[in-house]
Structure 1
Amino acid sequence: MELALAGRTALVTGAGSGIGRAVAVALAAEGMRVALLDRDRGGLEETARMLRSAAAPCLIVTADVTVEGEVSAAVDTVVAWSADVHTVVCCAGISGPVGEGIEQTSRADWDAVFAVNVTGAFLALRAALPALRAADAASVVLLASDSAAVASPGMAAYCASKAALVQFGRALSVDLAPDGIRVVAVSPSVVDTPMSRSDLAADDGFDTAGFPVQGAEEVAAHVAYLASPRARAVNGSALVSDFGYSARSGFPA
């Protein structure tokens, strides 16, 4: 299906690696101009090389999504590059402590997870709102997780932050509907990225016998569709991409 994204502009946070990089590549392949935001300059440059090798226009903006001034300055740079911003995709995220009970989770770790996963999206979207309002058929896509609905042992901070992100998107979809801005989320299960390999001690690859793992490019394809004007009826919801895991009873321990 033609997604009607050619000539439009997207801002992708967390574009230096993983899902964010895959999303940037997917949107560029659909003909979008893509602004790449991350705090990892080296990662951004690698993503930009991938896009430019396919003759896709892109812009690098380095910022920490938890620092309001850096985010605002980055968005100003994007708007100067492309006055209209049609889509913002919030992929910046961290997992925080993995395998720790709440007693072992420090306040600093808890705050860090929410600062990146939730506040980072809030800051990016708030800064980009004037540009989104000026664009036609604008959209926002939040990268959540099936952990928003299905608890994972030892990941209370991460699960809570992703649930907050989904509800943030639902609330925003109501607030921004009068402006013609759609807000949706994608909730994948385990995705093969450097972060998940590190979290799950799977540096040599995942054993998928017990649970299917998807590639970042599969999640990026969902994002591209949801960002498109073709998905104009989809608003205020989260696309759960987890092989039906959250629909089953008797989850594995």
Structure 2
Amino acid sequence: MIGFTKPLTKRAKAVVTGAGSGIGRALAVELAARGGHVVCADIDETGAKETARLVERAGGTAITAHCDVSRSDDVVALRDRALDWFNEAPTLLINNAGIGAGGRTVGKASLDDWARTLGINLWGVIHGCHHFLPAMKEAGRGGVINTASAAGFAAGPRMAAYNVSKAGVMSLSETLATELAGTGVRVTVLCPTFVKTNIFSGDLIESSVAGAAARIADFAGMSPEKVARMTLDDHDKGRLYVVPQLDAKAIWLAKRLTPTTHARVGGMLARLAPFAPEEEGPR
């Protein structure tokens, strides 16, 4: 069995999806500060190019790749571009691309919104793991970091599609941890709460919910740079879960110890929260 004694985030040959902003950008720049080489992938080519400039300014090297992670063919092209640039399998794959979604209950959120959310947040991670892992396993070394969310276990109301997508990422990561044991490839899943990013500006989040969430993130959210450092450090230590904030840890504990009470309290807080009433009918 290959041990987890060598840090994988130093001088990494990394692929980062969703690298055009937020946590993805912070991870790419932090990898650069550790001497890394980064493929900055995003559907937003302008954002990816700006991240690549920041990577090089921080001391790393970078190329960009346009990639819609919900499309398997795009991820295949990303893999091939990375293999060609590195001339070998990457040492680190970060499946970070994601979108926010929320504001409607099950039955009122449209099936199109469900499909789009799961397509990017869950299938994007599935595509990344499916297409990159064979070469990494064959090389006998490497790491995978999947960005989930505390929403994956908090299961807050009016966020079903987002919650399900992130719970799926957690379950996939846990499954991979068992399947990859002894292969030299380690797995980490990131589960933050509020981070100061632009995730609340997406068109799948109702404006009232987005505004309230953005205000909370601005006031109490952790910086993406701190999240990135903690995530990479914990990955080097071989940790499966990264739960960076105290509120996320408290929710995790409450959910495991008192699941019924957790659900009731969550429903009560949702009714008291400063959100506009839900609109009638599906979107």
Instruction: Give your verdict on TM over 0.5.
Output: yes
1:65/1:120 contact within 8 Å kept: yes
User: What letter corresponds to residue 243 of structure 2 in structure 1?
Assistant: V
Unmatched 5+ residue regions in structure 1? none
Q: Which moved more, 1:35-44 or 1:50-59?
A: 50-59
Paired residue for 1:215?
223
- Using the alignment, how far apart are the partners of 2:37 and 2:191 within structure 1? 25
Q: Secondary structure at the match of 1:7?
A: coil
Paired residue type of 1:168? L
Report Cα offsets for 1:202-244 as digits up to 9, x if no partner. 69x63579x831111121112211332xx13x3xx32222313
Letter matched to residue 110 of structure 2: S
2:33/2:59 contact within 8 Å kept = no
Alignment correspondent of 2:148: 144
Distance in 2, Cα, partners of 1:208 & 1:143: 18
8 Å CA contact retained: 1:197, 1:206? no
Q: Does 1:84 align with 2:92?
A: no
What is the alpha-carbon distance in structure 2 between the residues aligned to residue 18 and residue 172 of structure 1? 25
Question: Partner of 1:140: helix, strand, or coil?
Answer: strand
Deviation at 1:5? Answer: 3.2
Report the TM-score when normalising by structure 2.
0.79
Q: 1:37 aligns with which of 20, 41, 61?
A: 41
Could you list the runs of 5+ residues in structure 2 that have no partner in the other structure? 1-5, 255-261, 271-283
Would you say the 8 A contact 2:37–2:61 is kept in 1?
yes
Deviation at 1:189, TM superposition (A): 0.4
- Residue equivalent to 2:198: 194
Q: 1:7 maps to what in 2?
A: 11
The match for 1:239 is 242
Is the CA contact (8 Å cut-off) linking 1:190 and 1:196 kept in structure 2?
no
Which stretch shows the higher mean deviation, 240-249 or 126-135?
240-249
- Separation in 2, partners of 1:60, 1:108: 29
Give the Cα–Cα distance (whole angstroms) in 2 for the partners of residues 15 and 129 of structure 1.
Answer: 20
Provide the alpha-carbon RMSD of the alignment.
Answer: 2.3
Task: Name which of 71, 74, 82 aligns with 1:70.
Answer: 74
Q: Max radius of gyration: which structure?
A: 2
In structure 2, distance between residues paired with 1:208 and 1:106: 26
- Report SS of the residue matched to 1:34: strand
Contact 2:32 2:59 (8 Å CA) reproduced: no
Percent identity over the alignment is 30
CA separation of 1:136 and 1:9: change in aligned 2, threshold 3 A: farther
- How many correspondences in the alignment? 244
- What is the CA-CA distance between 1:131 and the residue it aligns to? 3.0
Q: Matched residue of 2:27: which SS?
A: helix
CA contact under 8 A between 1:139 and 1:182: conserved in structure 2?
yes
Choose from 158, 167, 172 the match for 1:168: 172
Task: For residues 86-123 of structure 1, give each alpha carbon's deviation from its aligned partner in whole angstroms, at most 9, with x where no partner exists.
Answer: 11111101122x21111211111101111111111111
1:116 corresponds to which residue?
120
Once the two structures are superposed, residues 2-50 of structure 1 have per-residue CA deviations (whole angstroms, 9 ceiling, x without a partner) of: 9563332111111011111111111111111111111110110110111
Letter in 1 for 2:242: L
Task: Select between 215-224 and 37-46 the one with higher mean Cα deviation.
Answer: 215-224
Map Cα deviations across residues 40-72 of structure 1 (whole Å, 9 max, x no partner). Answer: 101101101111223311111111101111110
Quote how far apart the aligned CAs of 1:190 are.
0.9
Taking structure 1 as the reference length, what is the TM-score of the superposition?
A: 0.88
Give the number of the structure whose residues are more often helix, by fraction. 2
Conserved in 1, the CA contact under 8 Å of 2:196 and 2:217? Answer: no
Partner letter of residue 89 of structure 1?
Answer: I
After TM superposition, the structure 1 = structure 2 runs for residues 83-102 of structure 1, keeping only pairs within 5 Å, are 83-96=88-101, 98-102=102-106
In structure 2, what residue type is equivalent to 1:201?
G
Alignment partner of 1:224 is 2:228: no
C-alpha distance 154-133 of structure 1, shift in aligned 2 (>3 A): same
Per mean C-alpha deviation after superposition, the further-off stretch among 103-112 and 189-198 is 189-198
